[in-house]
């Protein structure tokens, strides 16, 4: 195997059968999005005055933010702590974070009743509101992510600017702008890298603070003043599994060799992080004595057990085994469990645990809500595929080597 | 040799640095800061604070208050006869976007021999969760006690509805443009010009009393003292969620009348303590920033040294 691998645009067919299905899901979501914007939130969702927040917040925003945590975790590990083998996964993780947060911002835009006032928090500040803090942090962090991505853009086009026909006169100008961007950003990028990590720490934890104010309306298995800490630790936990998860999917989809030597190394950290999370989660449970609610068998105790057993304990044990770490299949399963587990945790916190006193029946998302959520995820997948095919994000062996490799295999 | 230096247990270094950093940031955020919520002067208990006392032993469930409220807020109003229809009491009702207040009826129990009617509307908390939670600060707690909502600021995120311990704010889900958060405003516009809230003015049996909150509390306690057999010995709203402008006295325990199981601590208390802890004058975020910067600098230098040594080694 060639050791000379570097990020480069992936060459593959865009519309594979899988991608056609993804596109159909996206189209279906767009239909319901149109209904939402034409006739209001009530026309598409099952939300009411007792359940003001549904899956657009619980899944799109809360789970979306935490599953984009790979960006700040890899930035911290690669750029700040300088773990040598992180280099290969920093760019894909950055792209996921950038697209993930764009997806989150769009979900907020769809969910708020007055989408055209989405800029209000920029000028109307309420320091006591954790939602304000999350909003501001996410807005700044999204900007930081775009800035962090800029070098990839300049790398792709610098020295190759070739605008069609009349626009050709601007070639020099664009080239000059790219050069300027490259040079200035190179000098100050470290500020943005650190800022990205700080901003993530802040809003990942404040996302947990959001539900604290719901007080007794939230089931005691989840309602705790240390929710911000739990949210932050779980975000750190899910960062690496998310990187592994998407890296393995990408290698499969683009038919490239998975970077097992990197993936199994970084997966080695995960059991420890999950252990810390589990200790806090169970410690909190014992201090608040909320374990009494585990004796009743209802949707709360079942949801809690699924979250802890399948999302934390099982992958923790799995990832302690060498065999799992070295097998792409088992590594994928274990990472997917953590990703799903943390996702379920966010859904539990924002949707399952929320049981308003005056609700007549529990909230169940409508077909329209699910369509919009799936549609937005599908759009993100399409964008991801398009970007890795245009920009140098995924690390591959040199083109010639690749051809040879394929040739030999074929 | 070089390879060895490069891979000198990066995991251990990482974990060490990670642990130190986490401990440091937790330590910094534990530095005692003023965690008691800082409220504006208007939010503190004062003489101008008004309120309404509701006496469930007097309310007859005529729903005049419901109608008067709709008239006062320019909502479409049905004929007075429709409000005489008591079949609505079959179902427990909640306020809605064009119904700031509703009356519910409960079967007689305990000392009460008649059905018990209870009016529901915004409680106008002393420390309102909606105002604390609102992303843009669209809610205002006025010196008069009223908690009002500002349509020019609201972005429609509905976090106030998540936060409210009484589940009062309602949202116009059927509107695509300018949906409003709707809730009782304690007739802010009327009281500004010296009138009393419409519901109080139109109550034919005197079940509602408008006045300074302090005086209403005395009145409520006097009622209970004078007729200890008629009342459950508790004024709901005196201490609940830190006190509310609306106060209730009733013949039975409030949990029987579907009052929510709220405690005495203000609803935004814990959240604001956390917020002030994380953002104590921006010290913890800045501390984290500089610590990460330091780690990055040290690691960068270490890496350069290794690279230089490697280069020199190659030259030799």
Q: Which residue has the tokens 């005197």?
A: B206
Q: Is residue B279 part of a domain?
A: no
Does B179 lie in the same domain as B162?
A: yes
Does B242 lie in the same domain as B219?
A: yes
A93 neighbors A81 (Cβ within 8 angstroms) = no
Backbone φ and ψ for B53, nearest 5 degrees, come out as: -100, 125
Low-confidence ranges of chain B (pLDDT < 70): 1-47, 280-281, 313-316
Greatest CA span in chain B, whole angstroms?
103
Distance from the Cα of A386 to chain B's closest Cα (Å) equals: 32
Q: Residue B160: CA atoms inside 13 Å, Cβ hemisphere, count? A: 30
Does B46 lie in the same domain as B29?
A: no
Q: Is residue A8 part of a domain?
A: no
Rounded Cα distance between B269 and B289, Å, is 28
User: Is B274 near chain A, with CB under 8 Å?
Assistant: yes
Residue A12 burial (C-beta neighbours within 10 Å; 0-12, 13-18, 19+): middle
Residues 376-395 in A contacting B (C-alpha not used; CB under 8 Å): none
Q: Is residue B141 part of a domain?
A: yes
Q: Is residue B275 part of a domain?
A: no
Question: What integer pLDDT is reported at residue B86 of this predicted model?
Answer: 85
Whether B267 sits inside 8 A of A40 (CB atoms) is no
pLDDT in tens, chain A (410 residues): 445 677 888 888 888 888 999 999 999 999 999 999 999 999 999 999 999 999 999 999 999 999 999 888 988 888 888 887 777 788 888 999 999 999 999 999 999 999 999 999 999 998 889 999 999 999 999 999 999 898 888 888 877 777 777 777 777 888 888 888 888 888 888 888 888 898 998 899 999 999 999 989 999 999 998 899 999 999 999 999 999 998 898 888 888 888 888 898 889 999 999 999 999 999 999 998 888 888 888 999 999 999 999 999 999 999 998 888 989 999 999 999 999 999 999 999 999 999 999 988 889 999 999 999 999 999 999 999 999 999 988 887 765 555 554 444 43
Q: Is residue B86 part of a domain?
A: yes
Helix or strand run (H / E) with residue B215: helix B213-226
Query: What is this model's ipTM?
Result: 0.88
Q: Is residue A409 part of a domain?
A: no
- Spell out which residues of chain B touch residue A188, defining contact as CB-CB under 8 Å: none
B182 neighbors B100 (Cβ within 8 angstroms) = yes
Q: Is residue A158 part of a domain?
A: yes
Q: Is residue B49 part of a domain?
A: yes
Q: Is residue A234 part of a domain?
A: yes
Does B212 lie in the same domain as B94?
A: yes
Q: Is residue A33 part of a domain?
A: no
- CATH classification at residue A241: 1.20.1630
Other CB atoms within 10 A of residue A97 CB: 30
Q: Is residue A322 part of a domain?
A: yes
Whether B155 sits inside 8 A of A117 (CB atoms) is yes
Question: What integer pLDDT is reported at residue B24 of this predicted model?
Answer: 53
A397 forms beta bridges with: A5
Residue A10 DSSP class: -
pLDDT tens readout for residues B58-67: 999 999 999 9
Whether B176 sits inside 8 A of A40 (CB atoms) is yes
Count contacts between A and B (CB, < 8 Å).
206
A59 neighbors A347 (Cβ within 8 angstroms) = yes
Does B52 lie in the same domain as B29?
A: no
Closest partner residue to A197 among B37, B161, B292, by Cβ?
Answer: B292
User: Is B246 near chain A, with CB under 8 Å?
Assistant: no
B91: nearest CA partner in chain A: A360
Q: Is residue B278 part of a domain?
A: no
Q: Is residue A153 part of a domain?
A: yes
Question: What integer pLDDT is reported at residue B316 of this predicted model?
Answer: 54
Does B73 lie in the same domain as B147?
A: yes
pLDDT tens readout for residues A242-260: 999 988 988 888 888 888 8
Whether B11 sits inside 8 A of A124 (CB atoms) is no
Residues 143-162 in B contacting A (C-alpha not used; CB under 8 Å): 153-159, 161-162
Does B175 lie in the same domain as B126?
A: yes
Does B98 lie in the same domain as B18?
A: no
Q: Is residue B132 part of a domain?
A: yes
Rounded Cα distance between A79 and A102, Å, is 23
Question: What integer pLDDT is reported at residue B9 of this predicted model?
Answer: 55
- In chain B, the number of structural domains is 2
Does B123 lie in the same domain as B25?
A: no
B120 neighbors B139 (Cβ within 8 angstroms) = no
Whether A209 sits inside 8 A of B14 (CB atoms) is no
Q: Is residue A240 part of a domain?
A: yes
Does B68 lie in the same domain as B169?
A: yes
Does B201 lie in the same domain as B77?
A: yes
Q: Is residue B274 part of a domain?
A: no
- In chain A, the number of structural domains is 1
Range of the structural domain that residue A223 is part of: 51-359
pTM for this predicted structure: 0.86
Does B236 lie in the same domain as B304?
A: no
Residues of chain B by 3-state class (helix, strand, coil), percent to 5: 40, 15, 45
Residues 104-143 in B contacting A (C-alpha not used; CB under 8 Å): 129, 132-138
Range of the structural domain that residue B295 is part of: 2-35+287-315
Rounded Cα distance between A246 and A248, Å, is 5
pLDDT tens readout for residues B136-187: 999 999 988 999 999 999 999 999 999 999 999 999 999 999 999 999 999 9
- CATH classification at residue B87: 3.30.70.20
């Amino acid at each position: 195997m060639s050791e000379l691998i570097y990020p480069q645009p992936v060459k593959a067919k865009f519309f594979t059968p899988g991608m056609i299905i993804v596109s159909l899901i996206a189209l279906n979501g767009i239909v319901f999005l149109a209904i939402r914007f034409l006739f209001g939130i009530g026309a598409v969702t099952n939300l009411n005055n007792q359940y003001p927040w549904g899956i657009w917040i619980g899944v799109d925003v809360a789970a979306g933010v935490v599953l984009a945590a790979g960006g700040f975790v890899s930035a911290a590990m690669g750029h700040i702590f300088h773990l040598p083998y992180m280099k290969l996964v920093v760019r894909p993780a950055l792209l996921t974070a950038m697209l993930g947060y764009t997806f989150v911002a769009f979900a907020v835009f769809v969910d708020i009743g007055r989408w055209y006032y989405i800029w209000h928090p920029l000028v109307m500040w309420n320091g006591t509101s954790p939602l304000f803090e999350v909003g501001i942090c996410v807005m700044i962090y999204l900007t930081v992510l775009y800035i962090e991505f800029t070098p990839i853009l300049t790398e792709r086009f610098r020295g190759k600017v070739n605008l069609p026909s009349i626009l050709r006169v601007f070639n020099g100008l664009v080239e000059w702008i790219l050069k300027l961007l490259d040079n200035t950003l190179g000098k100050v990028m470290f500020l943005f890298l650190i800022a990205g990590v700080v901003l993530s720490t802040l809003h990942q934890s404040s996302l947990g603070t959001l539900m604290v104010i719901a007080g007794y309306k939230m089931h005691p298995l989840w309602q705790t003043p240390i929710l911000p800490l739990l949210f932050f630790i779980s975000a750190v936990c899910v960062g690496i599994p998310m990187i592994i998860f998407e890296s393995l999917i990408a290698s499969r989809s683009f038919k490239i060799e998975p970077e097992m030597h990197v993936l199994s190394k970084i997966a080695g950290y995960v059991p420890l992080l999950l252990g810390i999370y589990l200790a806090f989660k169970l410690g909190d449970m014992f201090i608040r004595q909320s374990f009494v609610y585990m004796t009743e068998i209802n949707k709360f105790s079942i949801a809690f057990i699924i979250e802890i057993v399948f999302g934390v304990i099982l992958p923790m044990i799995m990832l302690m085994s060498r065999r799992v770490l070295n097998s792409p299949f088992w590594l994928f399963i274990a990472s997917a469990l953590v990703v799903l587990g943390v996702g379920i945790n966010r859904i539990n916190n924002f949707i399952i645990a929320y049981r308003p006193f005056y609700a007549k029946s529990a909230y169940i998302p409508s077909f329209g809500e699910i369509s919009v959520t799936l549609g937005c995820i599908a759009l993100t997948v399409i964008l991801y595929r398009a970007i890795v095919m245009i920009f140098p994000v995924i690390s591959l062996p040199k083109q010639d080597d690749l051809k040879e490799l394929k040739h030999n295999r074929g | 040799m070089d390879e060895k230096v490069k891979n000198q247990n990066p995991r251990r270094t990482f974990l060490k640095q990670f642990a130190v950093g986490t401990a440091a940031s937790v330590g910094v955020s534990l530095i005692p800061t003023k965690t008691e919520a800082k409220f504006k002067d208007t939010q503190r208990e004062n003489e101008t604070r008004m309120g309404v006392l509701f006496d469930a032993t007097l309310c007859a469930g005529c729903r005049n208050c419901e109608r008067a409220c709709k008239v006062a807020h320019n909502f479409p109003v049905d004929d007075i006869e429709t409000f005489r229809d008591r079949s609505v009491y079959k179902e427990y009702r909640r306020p809605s976007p064009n119904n700031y207040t509703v009356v519910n009826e409960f079967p007689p129990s305990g000392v009460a021999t008649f059905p018990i009617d209870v009016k529901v509307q915004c409680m106008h908390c002393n420390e309102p969760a909606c105002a604390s939670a609102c992303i843009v600060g669209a809610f205002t707690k006025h010196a008069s006690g009223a908690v009002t909502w500002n349509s020019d600021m609201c972005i429609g995120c509905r976090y106030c509805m998540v936060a409210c311990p009484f589940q009062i704010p309602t949202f116009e889900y059927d509107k695509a443009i300018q949906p409003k958060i709707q809730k009782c405003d304690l007739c802010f516009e009327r009281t500004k010009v010296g009138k009393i809230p419409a519901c109080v003015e139109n109550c034919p049996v005197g079940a509602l009393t408008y006045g300074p909150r302090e005086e209403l509390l005395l009145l409520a306690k006097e009622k209970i003292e004078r007729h200890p057999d008629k009342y459950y010995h508790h004024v709901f709203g005196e201490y609940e969620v830190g006190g509310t402008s609306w106060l209730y006295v009733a013949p039975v325990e409030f949990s029987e009348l579907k009052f929510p199981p709220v405690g005495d601590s203000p609803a935004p208390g814990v959240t604001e303590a956390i917020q002030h802890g994380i953002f104590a004058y921006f010290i913890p975020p800045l501390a984290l920033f500089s610590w990460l910067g330091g780690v990055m600098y040290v690691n960068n230098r270490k890496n350069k040294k290794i690279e230089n040594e490697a280069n020199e080694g190659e030259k030799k």
